[in-house]
Structure formats: C-alpha cells, structure tokens
Structure 1
C-alpha cells in the first residue's frame, strides 16, 4: 500500500545523501584548488632568489629608512609609524621569499594588513577628538587581530584579500577628502589627485596580476622556461604584485603623511612624477 510518510522518509534520506556527497566534493575541490594556489605561490616566490628580485624587495626597506631620515626631528610617533609599516612589509616579504615557510608567508600577508591599517588610522583620526581616535584605533586593532587570527588558523585567503582591498579603498577615499580639505591651489590638488589615481592603479593592476599568476601558473611557468633569462622575468607576475604594491603603498604613505601635518609641505622630489616640486600650504591643524 501507498505510504506517504515512508516515501517522504526515503526521499529525505536520498536528499541528505546527495547533499553530503556535494559537500564532500566541494571540500575536496576547495582543498585541491588551495593546494594548487599554494604550489604556484611557492614556485613564483622561489624566483626571488635572483639578485634583481631581492634588490626590489630590499628597496622597500631602503625607502622606508630614507623617509624616516627626512622627517622632522620633532615629528610624532604616529607619523613615523607610517614608514615603520612600510619597512615591516619589506622585511616580512624578504623573509618569506627566502624561507618559503608557512609562518613566513603568514607574516608576509599580515604585514600588508598592518601597514595599510596604520595608514588608514592616521588618515581617519586626523583632527579628530581623542575619544574618536581611541575608539577607532581600538576597533581597527580588534579587526586586524580578528582577521589575522582567522587567516593564520584557517589558512583562508578570500577574507584576507577582501580585507586588504577594503582597506585600500578606504585609504583612497579618505586621501581624496584630505586633498580637498587641506590643499588650496588647483594645480596642487590636480597633482595629488593624479597621485591617488596612480597609487590606486598600482594596487588594482598588481592585484590583477597576482590573480592571473594563480590562474595561469602552469602555463606561465612553461613559457618562462622557454624564454629563459632575462625575458622570463617579465612573466613573474607574483614579483610584479610585490613591486606594484610597494609603489602604491609608498605613494599613499607620502600623501597621508604630508596631508596630516600642521603645515602641508611637499618635499622636493616626492611628487616629481606628477609635475610638482613646489611647497604646498594648507590650513593649519587644530
């Protein structure tokens, strides 16, 4: 005889089994893709043993030290922290590409989040009340710790990448606001707006190259072996990601540093690429 309850039970059991198989398949697929991405990352990272690549990574530390030396003697620690963050990225990136270990990779990933968060904190708390500064800094620190803990324990990259992109967007938006609020001369505003576009473009293009390196890792590796040295270096997309990220970060750090001082001054040569060599004067900080 027809028993609806029994039929429903069989159907429910079938759905549960199919769902379990799909979940297991999805997990296995995710692990395989993740292992493939890790392998590609290590293959790309190993290319940093060549002198040109190591010189590029080391230059990040050099520029950070150079910027610290050029700061006024009475500058606050908050201003110095911008370039400490840049130096941290250079050191951690060098360690990862030399050691090629999991912990070094996590340090490299975390340094980018920390450095960008320092820039955002400096930009967002400019001319704000101590209460707002403390609350924002505390929440930002909590967010960084939470994201880093999740990233290290779960070895998951999607949240990490989205967090990094979100921080970059926030820094770019706030920098544009500071330019409008603090810079008076139209030519100076135009020059700094070009700097914002350049810095953001470096991040976006570098991120695109990084993703292409993951997707086409095997093909790129085969082509690089055919091309050999030195033309194969041009297809080291992982390396270009580091170079462009460093350039973009340095650009925003200089702008945020200049725009959050009591007197907005442009050091000669900082923005020569965008047509500026003169001093810019803005409103005096409260």
Structure 2
C-alpha cells in the first residue's frame, strides 16, 4: 500500500486513512487515482440496468435495493479514489457494509413462499450496521472495517455454498466459478497491497527498458501512465 500524500492535485492534500498503490494524479490533475476511479463504472452502470429490469419484472423491493446499493458503493468508491478525502472514504466503505447487509437479507430470504418481511433478521442487520458505523467513526481503523466486511462476505459465501450444493445443485458450476473469481480478486488485492513498492519499481523498470516498443504496440496510454513517473 502506498504512503499517503505522495503527490498533490486538484483535491488538495490526502486526508483518507488509506492510499492505494496507484500513483496519485499521474494521469490527470483532477483525479487522484485515475484507474481505480474509472474502473468503478462496472459497479455503477450495470446495477442501474439491473434495478430497472427488476422493477419492470415486478420483483420484490429487496432485489431492487440490492442493485441500487451496489450502485451506491460504486459511486462512493469513485468519489473516494478520485479525491482521497476521508469523507469520501466513508462514502465508499460504509455503503460496503450496508450493501452486504442487504445481500445477506436477500440470501436468507430467497426460499420464502410469500411476500413478507423477516423483521428479526432485518433488525439484526440494522443493529449490526449501526454498531459498525459508530465504532468505525470513532476508531478510524481500516482493519476494523475490513474485518467487519469480511464477516459479512464470509456469511454470504457460506450461504451461497449451501444453496448451490443442497438446494439448486444445477447452479453449482456458476456458484463455484463466481467464488473462484472473487477469491482471485482477493488474492490480487493482497498482492497489490503487500508488494506495492516492488511491483511499482518493476513496472517502471520494464517500461523504461521497452519504452519504444510499448509506445509502438499500445499507443499513448502507457505514456500517460508512466511518463510522469519517469521524471521523479
């Protein structure tokens, strides 16, 4: 993980408790982490279409809420990586907790026979969200948020395995493929955090060594990514 405040741009000094491996303001003065920002479009646009499709299909509100929650997470993550401000970090991290609570509710309510509300589960998840929010605002410790988020994800994974193993076995391939992709992303995320300095130095060295060939094969984008770094 990169140290906070390695470069300053349009949004001023970094105030977030996290600053990721991507170089700050390397592409544009207006976006702190360009690629971490624009990649959030995959969490903003498709869920909007999913919510619209759910409304048109007459699905229960919990499914619509799930799609919209994912969109909110994407928008919060966009603002966080664009500005690296603490307030925008909260706009990213707290909706991650809330959206996962919605997902947990949906996963445990997917077998009910009528349109009803599980008030006990709903109260438990709301209470969990309030406790996590209160504690996190006080301690401001990213590891605490990651552990709480991990607990929710673990619950979703266990529930999903149960569903594709015992209830809908014909979805087993899709379920395990999804789990594999998720675990691969988690692995890459940890590699990026742990070996950030080594990976950054390695990619810069490779680029400088093969700069003419890279420009010939891939055009201007590698130049936008690495040319500002070469001057440091």
TM (normalized to structure 1)? 0.57
Cα distance, 1:80 vs structure 2: 0.3
Distance 1:96 1:201 in 2: 27
* Greater displacement, 74-83 / 130-139: 130-139
Q: Determine whether 1:66 maps to 2:49.
A: yes
Gaps of 5+ in 1: 1-32, 184-188, 234-286
CA distance 1:44–1:178, shift in 2 (3 Å): farther
The 8 Å contact of residues 160 and 175 in structure 2, kept in 1 or not, is answered as yes
- Select which of 131, 134, 141 maps to 1:146: 131
**SS of alignment partner, residue 113 of structure 1:** helix
> 3-state SS of the aligned residue for 1:109?
helix
Q: Secondary structure at the match of 1:41?
A: coil
Match of 1:78 among 62, 74, 78: 62
Greater helix proportion: 1
1:57/1:94 contact within 8 Å kept: yes
Kindly provide the CA deviation profile for residues 255-277 of structure 1, in whole angstroms up to 9, marking residues without a partner as x.
Answer: xxxxxxxxxxxxxxxxxxxxxxx
For the residues of structure 1 that align with 2:134 and 2:174, how far apart are their CA atoms? 33
Could you say if the C-alpha distance between residues 132 and 57 of structure 1 is closer, same or farther in structure 2, counting changes exceeding 3 Å? closer
Q: Could you tell which deviates more after superposition, 140-149 or 91-100?
A: 140-149
Q: Structure 2 length as normaliser, TM-score?
A: 0.69
CA contact (8 A) 2:66 2:102 kept: yes
- What residue ranges of structure 2 are gaps of 5+ in the alignment? 6-15, 208-220, 226-232
Larger radius of gyration: 1
Report the CA distance between 1:215 and its aligned residue.
2.1
CA contact (8 A) 2:36 2:81 kept: no
2:212 is matched with which residue? Answer: none
Number of residues paired by the alignment? Answer: 195
